[in-house]
Chains A and B, each alone.
Chain A
Amino acid sequence: MNNAPYIRPMPASWWLRQGRYVRYMIREATCLFVGLHALVLLVGVYRLSQGREAFEAFLEALWSPAGQLISAAILIMAVIHSVTWFNLTPKAMPLWIGEKQAPGWIIVAAHYGGWFVVSVIVLLLAGGLS
């Protein structure tokens, strides 16, 4: 009698097997830091609602060595997050000009352009450029 077709198990460490999976997992993990940033902002808003003193204590905590370390980590991860996703956008939204597909870099560049414009607007609104 024959044994049944053999199904190879998929170990929990499957993503360590190939560089492409590790890179994918890093890209996915960066979203945790983006989420963390949103959480920090929420705490800030909450502390603001508690009055001036509470908000200043929050700002002080942000500027503490630990706070700076966390902010730096968030910044680096958010940049990796944005860059890796921007680089994938040509696949999701191909641009057809007549019968020709526009080169992917145009779509990527448009995203960087949009990022820049939004960043400038946010900085202007926050008074960061004055």
Chain B
Amino acid sequence: MSARQITLEVLRYRPESESEPVFQSYSVPCQKEWVVLDALNYVKDNLDRTLSFRWSCHMAVCGSCGMVINDNPMLSCKAFLRDLPDHIRVEPLQNFPIERDLMVSLDDFMDKLKSVKPYLIPKQPTADPDGTYKQSSAQLKKFKPFAMCINCMACYSVCPQYGLNDGFAGPAALALAHRYNADSRDQGRRAREDVVASNTGIWECTFVGACSEVCPKNVDPAAAIQQTKIASTVDYFKDLLMPSGRKIAHPEGDTT
């Protein structure tokens, strides 16, 4: 089978020798069914062993190969060459510090995820003798799409609010908070509200909507955030009208 010659223009940053990133081009003979990640691996195996990038599963599950391809953040394992031109520009995700070549720092993202308490906070232990929390399929459907996130950070890369203010909790973390808030087994909304309903939480979002456009898992963080805004506004007025109800709503299990 004949190979298609593709030019990969890759943004490189070698902190031991460069003070800022520079583009480097590689001419890669590609097979028809390849994705951008295959082309990068070809470079690594045959042309330049020093090129650094993260990847693991090669099947859009692990979320580690997110990068900006021709201005769009996407999973490089899902970016088919047949959908792309002969000249492809590959850059690390925007809005994150570049550690080396296509690898960005994950620290801030991990902190943001942790800050929204992304785990079930039940109000009281289940009364079910087998220790499980039962849920109907209707209840599951309410949050399932928001549980599909693979932490690829594409949504942060395309979010101008995160780019302008890295204090913003950001799309994936807020979508994850909504995933638990919308879970019938969870009572932790009030425990999450200090982060979620703050100025650097949902209220920093101006509904650009780009996060939902680029998400490879159709999580729709923009929808999650707007729905949280409505829930949080209702909470605010409830607190105003019934201030005493507030404390009771805080789950006991929360110690942080």
Chain A positions within 8 Å of B, measured between CB atoms, are 1-8, 10, 14-15, 17-18, 20-21, 24, 28, 88, 91-94, 96, 98-99, 101
B210 on interface, CB distance cutoff 8 Å: yes
Chain B positions within 8 Å of A, measured between CB atoms, are 13, 15-16, 18-21, 71, 94-95, 97-99, 104-105, 137-138, 141-142, 160, 163-164, 206-210, 212-213, 220, 222-223, 226-227, 229-230
| 23 pairs of residues in contact across A and B, judged by CB atoms under 8 Å | A1-B16, A3-B15, A5-B99, A5-B104, A7-B97, A8-B21, A10-B95, A10-B163, A14-B160, A20-B208, A20-B209, A20-B210, A21-B160, A21-B208, A24-B210, A88-B207, A88-B226, A91-B212, A91-B226, A92-B227, A93-B230, A98-B138, A99-B137
Q: Are B226 and A2 touching (Cβ within 8 A)?
A: no
> B98, B160, B227: which contacts A5 (Cβ < 8 A)?
B98
Residues of chain B contacted by A17 (CB below 8 angstroms): 71
Residues of chain B contacted by A5 (CB below 8 angstroms): 15, 97-99, 104-105
Q: Are B164 and A94 touching (Cβ within 8 A)?
A: no
Q: Are A99 and B141 touching (Cβ within 8 A)?
A: yes
> A21, A91, A94: which contacts B222 (Cβ < 8 A)?
A91
CA–CA, A8 and B97, complex, Å: 7
CA–CA, A94 and B164, complex, Å: 29
Of B71, B207, B212, most A-chain CB atoms within 10 Å: B207
Residues of chain A contacted by B15 (CB below 8 angstroms): 2-6
Closest residue of chain A to B140 (Cβ to Cβ) is A99
Residues of chain A contacted by B105 (CB below 8 angstroms): 5
Q: Are A3 and B98 touching (Cβ within 8 A)?
A: no
Residues of chain B contacted by A10 (CB below 8 angstroms): 95, 160, 163-164
A3-B15, A14-B160 in contact; A92/B229 too (CB < 8 A)?
yes
A91-B223, A91-B226, A92-B227 in contact; A6/B97 too (CB < 8 A)?
yes
> B13, B209, B213: which contacts A6 (Cβ < 8 A)?
B13
Q: Are B98 and A6 touching (Cβ within 8 A)?
A: yes
Least CB distance from B127 to A in Å reads 25
Closest residue of chain B to A14 (Cβ to Cβ) is B160
Least CB distance from A36 to B in Å reads 20
Closest residue of chain B to A1 (Cβ to Cβ) is B16
A20-B210, A92-B230, A94-B223 in contact; A6/B21 too (CB < 8 A)?
yes
A3-B18, A18-B71, A99-B138 in contact; A92/B163 too (CB < 8 A)?
no
